Structure 1
Amino acid sequence: MTSSIAQHINCEPQMEGRIFNMQRYSLNDGTGIRTVVFLKGCPLACPWCANPESRSHKVEYVIREAKCIHCDICPKTVEDCPSGAYERIGTDMTVDEVMKELKKDAVFYFTSNGGVTISGGEVLAQAPFAIELLKRLKAIGIRTAIETTGFGSRTQLLKMAALCDEVLYDFKIMDAAKAKEIIGIDLELVLRNFKAVVSSGVKVIPRIPLIPGYTMTISNLEKILAFLKPFELKELHLLPFHQFGASKYETLKMEYKLTNTKVPSVSEVEAYKKYCESEGYNVVVGG
């Protein structure tokens, strides 16, 4: 038996991750031009989530009504749908397969000081896969970042942080009881994990979604800034609420509670921006 055949027989199957999107040429979610890898699965239930397809770890199938031509006999298979209306959400890919796609945009990463951001869902929900992917990216000199709520294993989070140039860390509702009731998060765990990540020495950028009726109150913002003050971080991102993901809820047959919620005005966002700047932050709107 040749060594190459022996290696093939004895090799273990590659780790797979479940991905629902790869967004190329992103100018948000980290420095420079980036590709964002969106992992499927999130333990939270944020009513304002713009990617509800990210919540379930399971593969889902939907019909895009705008594309549907209402066949007499719907094949209900992605391959056979004549209009592309029947769509699979969630693809299992090995690290090699993901790397092959990410390398296609390497020239943009290196010329813009950009890189790859792993997002979700919640990246901690697929931590082993994310860690392996980050290792492979760093091995070939591609800058890396993760976006996280910090709700998960501190050990896994610190392993990821050690492989990142940036960690984008979301702050949502700063009342522990409301955070648990509304989005299902353990606020104390999130805050302890944040302290651990900052202490690791990696660049951490706090991000605050501005959601009317939930996070967009002066009281909530004051609590976030008071918590952040001892860490003396320089950069902070504000993410204004939008309605871009609203139609996804109907497609997924999920309830959307923010249909009548108004998008913050430019002047409202500017007021929050100036308030944060008065506390010494370089504020980026939009992330």
Structure 2
Amino acid sequence: MSCNPNRCHDAAVEGTPPPSTGRVFNIQRYSLNDGEGIRTVVFFKGCPLRCPWCSNPESRSSKQQIIRREAKCRHCAVCSNDVNECPTGALELVGTDMTLDELMAEIERDEVFYRSSGGGVTLSGGEVLTQAPFALELLKRLKRLGYNTAIETTGHGNTTLLLELGQFCDEVLYDFKIMDSKVAKDVVGINLQRCLDNFRQLVDQGTHVVPRIPLIPGYTMSFENIDAILDFLSAFDLQEVHLLPFHQFGANKYEIFGMDYEFKDVPVPTDTEIEAIRRRVEARGYTVNIGG
């Protein structure tokens, strides 16, 4: 990732986190998406893909990064790019290394909401498979406490680790993007066949897998692409498909990280377009959830 040195740079600690920790860039509480009930979503840093529509560009690099929020900065030169020395809080470290105990302490704060709503904890990213060993230990601990668990994944990663993660999940939210293998590789860097094979193996081992389709203008929203996904899914006894309409919520992050946002002028799907795809999916016998 290329970053404007005046806006974003890698912090002193680089690369992947130590094996005993996970590198997290956000913990989102009270989420009503990303699984059933009220959920806490843990966002892991690092992703092998390069989706040009990504709403979390801070998730791409596995490195810790320092960003500067221009509106807060006095340009006083006091901090020397040290987050702890910044007098206004303009500097922010993106990516926190947390032990299992530290992360569990954060998650357990919301236990009352999980219990009352049938919710739980979802591991997201980035791509959770980039930190699969840590995520696996976290899921095991969550299940021992009786929490409902889920992961969000593209399936682009180690098959053995993905199957292990699936064994400790109440559901796996599995994204389908571009079904032309060459275009998928060229645009987002994904190995489509591996992802399809991984999906098949997850379902075969008995994991509850929920297919999700991001609705991206010009890439995934064509009826041809939607039908290709549905044709693949027809081999499995699945009841539900989630549609995730493209949005512009993460657009301002790209400037902060010194990155070009290719989708800044792309309009969000209209209600009419979304409804047409909903009807097409429902016609194949699925219950459709808009927005996950």
Report if TM-score (shorter chain) is over 0.5.
yes
Q: Is the 8 A contact 2:39 2:119 kept in 1?
A: yes
- Residue 110 of structure 1 aligns to a residue in which SS? helix
Q: Is the 8 A contact 2:211 2:241 kept in 1?
A: yes
Aligned to 2:116: 111
- Residue 66 of structure 1 aligns to a residue in which SS? helix
- Residue 152 of structure 1 aligns to a residue in which SS? coil
Q: Is the 8 A contact 1:47 1:258 kept in 2?
A: yes
- Residue 256 of structure 1 aligns to a residue in which SS? coil
Query: In structure 1, what residue type is equivalent to 2:74?
Result: I
Which residue among 130, 136, 141 is the counterpart of 1:125?
A: 130
Matched ranges for 1:80-229 at <5 A: 80-229=85-234
Query: In structure 2, what residue type is equivalent to 1:191?
Result: L
**Alpha-carbon distance in structure 1 between the residues aligned to 2:174 and 2:99:** 26
Q: By how many angstroms is 1:72 displaced?
A: 5.5
- Residue 217 of structure 2 aligns to a residue in which SS? coil
Aligned to 2:14: none
Q: By how many angstroms is 1:14 displaced?
A: 7.5
- The structure whose Rg is larger is 1
**Alpha-carbon distance in structure 2 between the residues aligned to 1:251 and 1:78:** 16
TM-score normalised by structure 2 residue count: 0.92
**Alpha-carbon distance in structure 2 between the residues aligned to 1:206 and 1:67:** 41
Q: By how many angstroms is 1:232 displaced?
A: 2.2
**Alpha-carbon distance in structure 1 between the residues aligned to 2:279 and 2:19:** 48
**Alpha-carbon distance in structure 2 between the residues aligned to 1:138 and 1:72:** 48
Aligned to 1:37: 42
Q: By how many angstroms is 1:69 displaced?
A: 3.3
Q: Is the 8 A contact 2:129 2:158 kept in 1?
A: yes
- Percent identity among equivalent residues? 60
**Alpha-carbon distance in structure 1 between the residues aligned to 2:216 and 2:99:** 36
Query: In structure 1, what residue type is equivalent to 2:41?
Result: V
Alpha-carbon displacement from aligned partner over 1:68-87 (angstroms, at most 9, x marks no partner): 23336454222222221111
**Structure 2: gaps of 5 or more residues:** 1-17
- Structure scoring higher RCO (CA < 8 A, sep ≥ 6) equals 2
**Alpha-carbon distance in structure 1 between the residues aligned to 2:249 and 2:136:** 30
**Structure 1: gaps of 5 or more residues:** 1-12
- Residue 36 of structure 1 aligns to a residue in which SS? strand
Are 1:231 and 2:236 an aligned pair? Answer: yes
Moved more, 64-73 or 21-30: 64-73
**Alpha-carbon distance in structure 1 between the residues aligned to 2:169 and 2:36:** 12
Q: By how many angstroms is 1:110 displaced?
A: 1.0
**Alpha-carbon distance in structure 1 between the residues aligned to 2:285 and 2:266:** 31
Which residue among 34, 40, 57 is the counterpart of 2:62?
A: 57
Alpha-carbon displacement from aligned partner over 1:47-98 (angstroms, at most 9, x marks no partner): 0000000000000011112332333645422222222111110000001100
Aligned to 1:79: 84
Are 1:240 and 2:238 an aligned pair? Answer: no
Moved more, 73-82 or 40-49: 73-82
TM-score normalised by structure 1 residue count: 0.93
Are 1:268 and 2:273 an aligned pair? Answer: yes
Q: Is the 8 A contact 2:203 2:209 kept in 1?
A: yes
Q: Is the 8 A contact 1:14 1:94 kept in 2?
A: no
**Alpha-carbon distance in structure 1 between the residues aligned to 2:117 and 2:270:** 31
Which residue among 65, 68, 71 is the counterpart of 1:66?
A: 71
**Alpha-carbon distance in structure 2 between the residues aligned to 1:72 and 1:144:** 45
Please provide the CA RMSD for this pair.
1.2
Count of paired positions: 275
Matched ranges for 1:10-49 at <5 A: 15-49=20-54
Query: In structure 2, what residue type is equivalent to 1:268?
Result: E
**Alpha-carbon distance in structure 2 between the residues aligned to 1:158 and 1:73:** 49
Aligned to 1:3: none
